[in-house]
Each structure stands twice: as structure tokens, then as C-alpha cells.
Copies of this chain bind each other. A is one copy, B any other.
Amino acid sequence: MRAGRNHGSAEAGPVDDALARLRARGQRLTPARRVVLEVLASAKGHLAAEDVVTRATALQPGLHRATIYRTLDSLCASDVVVHVHTGHGATLYHLVDHGEAPHVHVSCDRCGGIFDAPSDLLDVARERLERAIGFRLEPSHTALLGTCAACLATTKGASR
């Protein structure tokens, strides 16, 4: 019998799971946080703070921009949510899914698409940096930039 998607705490769903971890941290359990977590959980992907604002205020009108930024901040501080810098303006957020392998993010310069890559993608680089200059690389904190396959195909033939 394989565990399937049975991980984290007690099969309660990612939101309740996250809420539980928040409470364990001594954090307050507010409607705003619940909503933000729900948005992140249902998005199943990477959202910019502004996207979270849009979706969260749709679920709960009156919820303020600033609150959401602060909420995302505190959720990150509690390791319930992680953020990725993309190089293009917006920081992306997503729920930490226990049981899901952490991954590295890759972003296309042209279409802005975000792609997931295996978490060990930067293992070699990490070790080299550590050894060479004592730098501790945080592989999933930055999205790597480049051009995705689809965009490359679009430009096929044009050298530049």
C-alpha cells in the first residue's frame, strides 16, 4: 500500500495543515491568513502578491492589499509559504507542500512563464560555491532566467 498523497499532518488538506503549523508556531489564526492560504492552495502554482490580492479580495471583499503583503510575509517567516524572486518585478509565492520535493524555478525572459526543475539542478553549483568562496546557495530562492522551448521555437530562424 502506497501512501499516495497522504503526507503532512493527518490528511487534513494543505490549508488546515498550514494553519496547524501556524498555530504550533504561536501564530494567530485569522480570517485573512485563512483566505490567503486558501488562495495559494487552490492556485496550485506560483502567484505574485498582486494575484493573491485579486483572488483573496474576491473571496473576502474588504481585505486590504497591505494586509495581504504582511500576511504573505509572516507566512514565509513561518515556513508555511515560500517566495521566489523572478528578476522581473514580482515576487512569487507558493504554499509549502509537505511531501512534494522542493524544486528550483526557471523563468522565461520572453513569456514570463515559470517552470519547475528538479531540486538537485544546482547541487553542483552549490557545492562549488561553498567550497570556493564559502557562499551558501539557496537554490530555490531565485528563478533562473533564460528562454523556454516554446519561445525558442517562435524565433526559429531569426538569429536575433
Contact = CB atoms under 8 A, between A and B. Distances in A.
Q: Copy number of this protein in the oligomer?
A: 2
Consensus secondary structure, chain A interface: mixed
* Chain A interface size, under 10 / 10 to 19 / 20 to 34 / 35 or more: 20 to 34
Given A88-B85, A142-B87, A132 B147 contact: no
A48 interface: no
B136 A144 contact: no
A142 B141 contact: no
Nearest to A87: B85
A132 to B, nearest CB: 7
Contacts of A128: 117-118, 121
Interface of A: 85-88, 106, 108-109, 115, 117-118, 121-122, 124-125, 128-129, 132-139, 141-149, 152
